[in-house]
Amino acid sequence: MNNYKVDFSGSVTSPKGFKASGVTAGLKKSGNADMALVYSEEPCAFGAAFTSCTFAAAPVQVSRRHAAEGEVLRAMIINSGNANACTGAKGLANAEKMCELTAAELGIPSGEVVVASTGRIGVQMPMEIIGRGIKLAVSELSSDGGVAAAKSIMTTDTVEKHLSLEVELSGGRVTIGAMTKGVGMIDPYLKTVPHATMICVVTTDCGLTNGELSDMVCECTGESFNRITVDGDMSTNDTVIVLANGASGVKVTNASDAEKFKSALKLAMQELARKMVMDGEGATKFVEIKVVNASSEAAARLCAEAVANSLLCKTAWFGCDPNWGRIVAALGYSGAEFDPGKVNVFYNEYPVVRDGGDAGTPESELAKVLKNREFRVTVELNNGDSDYWVWTSDISYEYVKINAEYHT
């Protein structure tokens, strides 16, 4: 097993050859930073994944096309404060224009730029502000700009989310850097090219091919961002971009290298996914739902996601109420087939349901578990050998307040 040390002070500029910036263009009434640029001095191989929401935002559509048609990428421009979603032909033109303006300032083809946006849906992008912001973002590019970039993509996030880690391959050491945002409207189901609101940028100075990265992104998002939910709502703008510029001079040359790098990439994505749930809008609990001994992974997933997205379960957890009836009800409507008489449920190591009924553990003991910041719900279906896990949060008064008053 590989042991990677994650550096939470690291960022997208930790790998060699990457620069970034985070600036205030003027999109947010708060005056907070609202535009980020990530740029590689060398062309990058890439992997990408985007929301599967039918109402995919304009920047998703443009970036998806650039990723499908291009061989390399060099830059990603990101704004917060406006999602540019449900904005029609004008919105698409504006998203494309963001790539063109960025490319012109950097002196590269516009097809080598991808774009992401987050914020309010249904509002046209103020392109005069955007144009000034892009000029500023390019002028502020720095090899130390990764943390500023992570701060500038935040919306209702309370903390910036970024990290780096190093991987020792057969040819030497490579670095992975990453940042993400997203704490509400989080229930991503990302599809990879060509096959959350969360936006994630991963950079690495490792040498990889597009094919290698696409396969890795598919697997790693499936075991990270696609396993989290805060409120069960998929965004129109979910985007993951992984850029590999090879600036370290070290390439993935064999199966062992590929497995090591993939394992590190997965860890980076999982750590960021975990941070997203921990910082979920108004969240006070981090809950792992683990369904085991299911007839299939699909059945286990149905059960895990039903419990993770149940408002009754989530509000009970907020109130430290070990009301297991809500868990079994969610299992029952999940659509999975199982024998209720064989089901066991646990809060951490404490049994709450045994063979479909009350396990007899005192509620006072169970309430102690739910007072923790983190705990686990384990469901044993006992009709197979498949399993699935999901990370979720509770729903608090603060979540309702944030979303009742939301206006970027």
What the chain holds in terms of domains, given with CATH numbers, is: 6-278 (3.60.70.12), 286-404 (3.10.20.340)
User: What whole-number distance in Å separates Cα of residue 114 and Cα of residue 221?
Assistant: 19
Q: Which residues of 102-136 are buried (b: 16+ CB within 10 A; e: fewer)?
A: bbebbebebbbbbbbbbbebebebbeebbeebbbb
The closest alpha carbon to 345, from 312, 304, 301, belongs to 304
User: What whole-number distance in Å separates Cα of residue 244 and Cα of residue 213?
Assistant: 8
Sign of CA dihedral 199, 159, 184, 345: positive
pLDDT reported for residue 408: 43
Q: Determine contact, residues 303/291, Cβ cutoff 8 Å.
A: yes
* Opening angle at CA 353, ends 338 and 301, nearest 5: 40
* Opening angle at CA 218, ends 216 and 222, nearest 5: 115
Tokens for 28, please give them. 């947010």
User: What whole-number distance in Å separates Cα of residue 258 and Cα of residue 289?
Assistant: 30
pLDDT reported for residue 90: 98
pLDDT reported for residue 189: 53
Instruction: Give the catalytic positions in this structure.
Output: 197
Q: What is the pLDDT of residues 226-272, one digit of tens each?
A: 999 888 777 899 999 999 999 999 999 999 999 999 999 999 999 99
User: What whole-number distance in Å separates Cα of residue 162 and Cα of residue 244?
Assistant: 17
Tell me phi and psi for residue 153, to 5 degrees. -95, 0
Asked, as a colleague might, if the bond just before 362 is cis with ω within 30 of 0, I would say no
In terms of DSSP bridges, do strands 350-354 and 357-358 run parallel, antiparallel, or are they unpaired? Answer: antiparallel
* pLDDT averaged over 10-residue windows placed end to end, the chain, 408 residues: 83 98 95 97 96 93 97 97 96 98 98 96 96 98 98 89 97 97 57 56 98 96 92 85 98 97 97 92 94 98 96 96 97 98 98 98 96 98 98 92 72
Structural element, H or E, at residue 404: helix 397-404
Give me the half-sphere count of Cα atoms (radius 13 Å) on the Cβ side of residue 152: 28
User: What whole-number distance in Å separates Cα of residue 332 and Cα of residue 84?
Assistant: 39
Rounded alpha-carbon distances, angstroms, from residue 219 to 7, 215, 263: 23, 6, 10
pLDDT reported for residue 395: 92
Detail the DSSP E strand segments found in 184-255.
Answer: 190-192, 199-204, 228-229, 239-244
